[in-house]
Amino acid sequence: LKDSSPLWKFPTDRFVNYFFLNEAFKIIVDEVLNKGTDVQQKVCDWKEPEELAQLLDLELRAAGEPHHRLLERVRDVAKYSIKTSHPRFFNQQFAGVDYHSLAGRFLSEALNTNLYTYEAAPVFVLMENEVLRSLRLLIGWTEGDGIFCPGGSTSNMYAMNLARFQLFPEVKSQGLCGLPRLAIFTSSQSHYSVKKGAGFLGIGTDNVILVKVDDGGCMIPEDLDEKIALVKSQGTVPFIVSCTAGTTVQGAFDPLDRIADVCEKHKLWMHVDGAWGASVLFSKQHRHLLKGIERANSVAWNPHKLLLAGLQCSALLLRDCTGLLKRCHVANATYLFQQDKFYDLDLDIGNKSLQCSRKVDCLKLWLMWKAVGSSGLEERVNKAFFNARYFVQELKKRKGFYLLHEVAPAIKERMMKKGSMMVGYQPLENKVNFFRMVVLSPLVSQEDMDFCLDEIERLGNDM
């Protein structure tokens, strides 16, 4: 160390920075929020990968660039990105924008808070607890536990780990070596994260037993019961049933009440993957779809899907009141979770998480909820259901649609290159490719739904 050398002055001018951020904000408002939700504009400005790479000039170099150049880059990134809030983005189970949530997301990013201790995140420790409490109340639980996870897949994996730990607490320290084979039950239409989780947790994807579904895509409880009995007779230990409330493709809701009976009979942990469908609990009209959810041990719920909270906002909710979550995940790192602190150590919620750094995901949901109230969120759910039913009803009036199934990939290509809308497609078991229409943004109008049907006809016209 050169004793005499003065420490650097950070070579930035605050006002220059503010100006830059302000200009970037204007571009975001203009390109993403204004043009990006304008039905007259394209959903996507399709480019082939090689061309796009060149347009963006992605390479990172030794020297920095001036602000005017960076602002062009902000505009380019916005321009060539998919407008997921566009009224004609029906491609995935997230869409639409809520400005209150977005304000919360900007604030979370600016504060750059790490959510592990009360001293580092006083506001958000209390806020996360309150948001989780309010979500639990909708399930019907007046007490319980929970945590926000980086996505529904992670929430599902947490549930598996908790179920396993409850049955075999020694698995945390000793691992699976020496334990009998364990089995997970879920329907053939459940989300693929159940299998991913089984692989990651050392259980093995072969030990995910797929239960049959009915024509609507709902798990058949009798088949579940039989398969559990069969697996037990082979010496394997079942430990969790992962139900789905809102399957990925058909949007089916497993019959939770009847599955709860089976779980009680066999003393199994009942998990509900409600990443998509749990938000229906806000709707008095539709919440019957989730009848029996209060009997589950855990629920995964992604307000970033149907409620438009913004990626990522995924809660894992637990009925447990014994501190299972903390016992299962605690590592008690001494540099974060000192035991001689001057406040209640239960506020250091980081011990419940498998993450160390954890982003704040509760603020965006809290602020949006404050803004529109439970009643506003209810209306959002009801409108999505109304739109979906309207679409099906209109579809039935059009004769040609069944025939189009086999050409979905070709129509999809034309759709993307034209940029008029985005709809996903996929096969289902032995059926050929079909379009999977996801309708959830409250921005979607009757006109958009009609457009969508017309456009598929147009795109497939000369095939």
Q: Which of residues 319-348 bind a second copy (CB under 8 A)?
A: 328-329, 331-336, 338, 340-344, 347
Question: Which member of 86, 88, 113, 459 binds a second copy (CB under 8 A)?
Answer: 113
x/- string (CB under 8 A) for a second copy, residues 408-447? -x--xx--x-----x-xxxxx----x--x-----xx-xx-
Residue among 41 and 338 whose Cβ is closer to a second copy: 338
Q: How many CA atoms lie within 13 A of 139 on its CB side?
A: 33
Decide: is 218 part of the binding site for a second copy (CB under 8 A). no
Residue type, 202: G
Instruction: Give 47: exposed, middle or buried? Use CB within 10 Å, 0-12, 13-18, 19+.
Output: middle
Decide: is 396 part of the binding site for a second copy (CB under 8 A). no
Decide: is 179 part of the binding site for a second copy (CB under 8 A). yes
Stretch that binds a second copy, among 24-32, 254-262, 285-293, 452-460 (CB under 8 A): 24-32
Decide: is 25 part of the binding site for a second copy (CB under 8 A). yes
Question: If DSSP codes are grouped into helix, strand and coil, which group holds residue 380?
Answer: helix
Decide: is 70 part of the binding site for a second copy (CB under 8 A). yes
Question: If DSSP codes are grouped into helix, strand and coil, which group holds residue 367?
Answer: helix
Interacting residues with a second copy between 48 and 67 (CB under 8 A): 48-49, 52-53, 56, 58-65, 67
Question: Which member of 4, 40, 234, 375 binds a second copy (CB under 8 A)?
Answer: 375
Rounded to a whole number of angstroms, the minimum distance from the CB of residue 173 to a second copy is: 5
Rounded to a whole number of angstroms, the minimum distance from the CB of residue 63 to a second copy is: 4
Contacts with a second copy by CB under 8 A: the residue count is 179
Decide: is 238 part of the binding site for a second copy (CB under 8 A). no
Contacts 24+ apart (CB under 8 A), 33-39: 33/85, 33/97, 33/99, 33/102, 35/83, 36/78, 36/83, 36/85, 36/86, 37/83, 37/85, 37/86, 37/87, 37/97, 37/443, 38/86, 39/86, 39/87, 39/88, 39/447, 39/448
Which has the closest alpha carbon to 227: 208, 253, 255, 248?
Answer: 208
Beta bridge partners of 211: 187
Residue among 220 and 416 whose Cβ is closer to a second copy: 416
Stretch that binds a second copy, among 219-227, 291-299, 316-324, 375-383 (CB under 8 A): 375-383
Question: Which member of 175, 216, 323, 400 binds a second copy (CB under 8 A)?
Answer: 175
Question: Which member of 35, 39, 41, 150 binds a second copy (CB under 8 A)?
Answer: 150
Decide: is 41 part of the binding site for a second copy (CB under 8 A). no
Packing angle of the helix pair 362-397, 446-459 (nearest 10 deg): 60
Q: For 86-121, give the DSSP string.
A: STTEESSS-----HHHHHHHHHHHHHT--TT-TTT-
Interacting residues with a second copy between 295 and 314 (CB under 8 A): 302, 304, 310-312, 314
Question: If DSSP codes are grouped into helix, strand and coil, which group holds residue 336?
Answer: coil
Q: Are 385 and 286 in contact (CB under 8 A)?
A: yes
Where would I find the beta strands (DSSP E) of 122-235?
A: 145-149, 182-187, 208-211
Rounded to a whole number of angstroms, the minimum distance from the CB of residue 378 to a second copy is: 9
Decide: is 90 part of the binding site for a second copy (CB under 8 A). no
